[in-house]
Amino acid sequence: MKPSCITSSFVDELDNIEEISTVISNLGKCSVPSPLMKKDYSCFVEDDDKVLLLASSRNVARLCKKETVPSFELAGPRQNIYFDPSKTKCAIVTCGGLCPGINDVIRAIVMTLFYGYGVRNIFGIRFGLRGFIPSYGLEVMELTPDSVARIHEYGGTILGSSRGPQPAEEIVDALERMNVSILFAIGGDGTFRASKTIVDEINKRGIKISVIAIPKTIDNDIFLVSKTFGFDTAVQMACQAIKSAHTEAIGAPNGVGLVKLMGRYSGFIAAAASIALREVNYCLIPESDFDLDGERGLLKELERRLDQRGHAVIVAAEGAGQKFFEDQPKETDASGNVKLGDIGKFLKQKIGEYFATLGKETNIKYIDPSYIIRSVPANVDDSLYCGNLGQNAVHAAMAGKTDMMVSLWNDRYVHIPLESAILQRKKVNLKSRFWMSVLESTGQPSLKND
């Protein structure tokens, strides 16, 4: 699984290397021969196998002046494992918003546990972390190869999901009552932070439970992950919406196709779709500020574009232009995220008003495919990626790894401590080759007056 062009500009541009921990926690000595030894596996790895944090020759040369070169532990099956499969119980929970590929990850985890290691007790926790809390009255789901055989053909998650925190003490109480040895948490930044608090409570009690996180976010904004699963599918679906917007734009006088895509804090979907399709004229993302009014603002630029070409396509990430909503009351969702102003409807209104004052006809077609994009099944590339993530999560867990995330980094699957994964949010680097490709594709100038 090769990382996308997004990765090449991000991997070698880390400013806070000193803060990134690479040490993986282990529950204890691995003294149980892996069942995979009987299957003629030849791809076992050791804990000493590493993947460099930074891969360019320039950065490696700089880091080699230090006593140790920062590197992540390579993912994969170990010859000896920590848990006895015949006595191991596992739980899987999915949290946060939907994303293409969640069912693929669930399926990969179940299949690898069952057929690879012989684990027979696998539970699905219903509707996110609230499934652990007795007051919700949610029964667990028994997961078997038969029950997950075809779930990858469907979008969403068979376990259901939810947002919002739950008490770590009650979650660990539930894990102990169920006699769970391994918890697989599929989610994003909020899920990782919750997983970290669960690990802390587990350590406080001195019990042996592994917590393994699998990064899930359609926005591709998790730190130290080259690309999150579902992203390729999201870009593919976004391109379909943009094609429709372009068709609408060229089919009417002064047609404007306006598409709002997902991306609260990071504009990777909007940017990647703009590069892939090359029919976008303006790509607006949270990382790049823009003005509406003024000689160099979006409205004046759009006017010039329509005068010259007669049509235009604008793609806006949902988190773009939030400065225009600063006077509005701030509300939060169940996860504590600030509810964003609707940049799509705002732009549609402002564009219409602007051209009305000029006495110029415009035909604006607004498309918001957000919930369609996140609810579809994974495409082939994402499905393959999800399978690898799920399998490597199981290998890590059975070897007694904990307090970690499975990640794709420098074209290899690696183990990353949760404390490093939650250090910051990944964003589009405006000085990267990736963003330069967006500007070259769209031809858009700076939309700032200063």
Tens-digit pLDDT profile for residues 78-97: 999 999 999 999 999 999 99
Q: Quick check: 7 pLDDT over 50?
A: no
What's the whole-number average pLDDT of the chain?
93
How far apart are alpha carbons 283 and 443 in whole angstroms? 10
Give pLDDT tens digits for 97-147.
999 999 999 999 999 999 999 999 999 999 999 999 999 999 999 999 999
The contacts found for 146-153 with CB under 8 angstroms, 24 or more apart, are: 147/110, 148/103, 148/106, 148/107, 148/110, 148/111, 149/107, 151/103, 151/104, 151/106, 151/107, 152/103, 152/104, 152/107, 152/377, 152/378, 152/383, 152/386, 153/377
What mean pLDDT do residues 311-340 have?
89
Question: Exactly one of 189, 219, 291, 381 is catalytic; which is it?
Answer: 219
* Domains, in order of start, for the chain: 17-229+378-421 (3.40.50.450), 233-375+431-442 (3.40.50.460)
Q: Which residue has the higher pLDDT, 409 or 65?
A: 409
- Amino acid 355: pLDDT: 97
- Amino acid 6: pLDDT: 45
The three-state secondary structure class of 196 is helix
Q: Enter the DSSP assignment of 11.
A: T
Residue 367 burial (CB count, 10 A): 19
- Amino acid 397: pLDDT: 98
pLDDT band at residue 11 under the 50/70/90 scheme: very low
Give pLDDT tens digits for 182-220.
999 999 999 999 999 999 999 999 999 999 999 999 999
Record the pTM: 0.93
pLDDT band at residue 13 under the 50/70/90 scheme: low
CA 263 to chain centre: 11
Q: Which residue has the higher pLDDT, 140 or 4?
A: 140
For residue 219, indicate whether it is catalytic: yes
- Amino acid 439: pLDDT: 97
